[in-house]
Structure 1
Amino acid sequence: MSDQHLEEQEMEAEALSAIFDTAFEIRSSSQPFVWAVKLVPVDCGGDEEEEEAANHVMVKLVVNVPLDYPEVSLPVMDLEIVKGLSDDNKKELLAVANNEAEANTGTPSIFAVCEAVRAWLADNNVKGMDDASMHAQMMRKQKEAERREAQAAQQFESQKKIDEMTEAEKEELAVRKRREEGTPVNDVTFPAWWAKFTAEKELEQSTAHDDGGSERVGGKGEVEEKLTGFQIFSEKAGIFSLEKLEAAAEELENDTSALDPEELGEVDEELFDDDEDLDDLDFDDDDDESDEEPEI
């Protein structure tokens, strides 16, 4: 036994207690541990009266935990019949529990075993399971046959719906399935994808080269350099273009020189000959007065 085994067993017991609550009990708190779990087909949330009415079969799964469980040994299990099962049922159900534990070798498996046992109880949650008479056995076999027949009918109807789907619906379903699953990458699909990808890239490069790429060939064999982002912005915004500014100034000058002086009207020159009137204003007096100290 190692400390790791002990820690794993204690953690599993804690998890089972949290899941099953009062249905889980520790019968031996020292190693080797012994646990017990009460299992019913229908969980009624702890209501005992409702649980008694809804469940016709009940068992307790008793687990003896080996010291080297779960890495090495399987749990040693037994069943205690609480309600509604015969000894033959017990043997059958115990086989279900052991098979589930075997399927989970090397890992904590008690919860999985409990779920398998509970599923069997749910499928056999009928009165009279503990009746060993021939009549009771016949009735159980008949009900089991009816249950299997119902399952087969349900599967048949599901398959029938699929068969009756139109081609378009089948194609749509296939597309959805492919989208969900995706395309697997393997030795067959990757070379095909790579060939397609390289062909597309070569075509793009060839098209870009034909169009001139970063250069454009003029009509006279001249090569025009590709404009920078600043140049494109300046050109589109109409700024930072000296040629355009000069052209605009020249156009304005031409328009001004073309104006007829008569159309501009006569200019009143007397408006600009009133400088003599300004001589009467004495600006120094105000400054002198402001410099004088006030009398107290």
Structure 2
Amino acid sequence: MTDYKEEQAMEVEALEAIYMDDFTKLSDEPLTYQVHVVPNQDGENNFVALLIKAEIPDTYPDVEPKIEVLVKKGLADRQVKEIKELMAQQIEENMGMAMMYTLSEAVREYLVENNREGNDGSEHQEMLRRMELKKKKEDKVEADKLEQANANAEETRREFQGTPVTVETFAAWKAKFDAEMAPTKKISIKDEATAKLTGRQLWNKGLVTEDGAEEAEAEAEGEDEGEGEGEDAAEHDGEAEEGNDDQK
């Protein structure tokens, strides 16, 4: 079972620690307090300000708090309406959770965007506000484009440069290369050894059929006879040359 009183007390302590003098507890029964919200908590250049007054029901945060907005300075009726709509949205999104800090910060961010001297809510002031918001959006779009362009340029540079060769990268490449070449080397060695065997030896090792062995033997004998005939021809030519020399 939820201990609402304890949860509410813990939220009050947190708000007091965060906002300090800008937080005021008004009563215990019902629990009521207010937060003084300004764009800059250091107190400088605050042209807009308001109070958020909250009355906390017994079963909060399972039910919404009763909120009242009290303008201190610099806010037009239209802006107060926008702030109330913003807070209603935040309450709906955070129902069931301690939400007063979230509400206060959402309002503070709104005040930061609308913190202008002489903000009287006139048509001229509204036009200036819209122009400023438009410029901020355009600046953000340009900043995003520049960031993306820089990222693309960096990626292109890395692709062009490739991976630097170090002792570690070379060792990794060499190991991969050796692993890929190992089967090829084994086949080459086996072929070389097989080439030196006679047909009968090939048949005995089961590398060829008997017919294949006979063909291999015949080819080997042919090669031997060719070599013998070559040697006899060479000897005959040598003897002929000696005879010619004697006649001379």
**TM-score (norm: length of structure 2):** 0.59
Query: Which residue pairs with 2:67 in the alignment?
Result: 77
Q: Aligned partners of 2:158 and 2:78: how far apart in 1? A: 49
- Any residues of structure 2 matched to 1:255-294 within 5 Å, and which? none
Residue 167 of structure 1 deviates from its aligned partner by 4.2
The one of 139, 153, 157 equivalent to 2:128 is 139
Identity %: 28
Q: Aligned partners of 1:105 and 1:158: how far apart in 2? A: 37
- Any residues of structure 2 matched to 1:28-47 within 5 Å, and which? 28-31=27-30, 33-44=31-42
**TM-score (norm: length of structure 1):** 0.50
**1:96 and 2:94 are equivalent in the alignment:** no
1:113 maps to amino acid: L
Listed as ranges, the gaps of 5+ residues in structure 2 are 160-248
Partner SS state of residue 3, structure 2: helix
Q: 1:8 to 1:96 in 2, by over 3 A?
A: same
Residue 169 of structure 1 deviates from its aligned partner by 4.4
Maintained 8 Å contact 1:62/1:80: yes
1:127 maps to amino acid: E
Any idea what the Cα deviations from partners look like across 1:232-262, whole Å, max 9, x if unmatched? xxxxxxxxxxxxxxxxxxxxxxxxxxxxxxx
Query: Which residue pairs with 2:5 in the alignment?
Result: 6
Residue 141 of structure 1 deviates from its aligned partner by 1.4
- Any residues of structure 2 matched to 1:96-245 within 5 Å, and which? 96-129=86-119, 131-167=120-156, 169=158
2:105 maps to amino acid: E
Q: 1:122 to 1:169 in 2, by over 3 A?
A: farther
Query: What root-mean-square deviation, in Å, do the aligned CA atoms of Structure 1 and Structure 2 show?
Result: 2.1
Maintained 8 Å contact 1:60/1:81: yes
**Structure 1 runs of 4+ with >4 Å offset:** 167-170
**1:18 and 2:17 are equivalent in the alignment:** yes
Maintained 8 Å contact 1:77/1:98: no
Residue 78 of structure 1 deviates from its aligned partner by 2.0
Maintained 8 Å contact 2:75/2:121: no
Maintained 8 Å contact 1:74/1:105: yes
Any idea what the Cα deviations from partners look like across 1:102-135, whole Å, max 9, x if unmatched? 2221111111111111111112211233x23222
Partner SS state of residue 165, structure 1: helix
Aligned residues: 160
The one of 74, 83, 87 equivalent to 2:77 is 87
1:118 maps to amino acid: R
Listed as ranges, the gaps of 5+ residues in structure 1 are 45-50, 171-296
Which one scores higher on RCO, CA 8 angstroms, separation ≥ 6? Answer: 2
Query: Which residue pairs with 1:57 in the alignment?
Result: 48
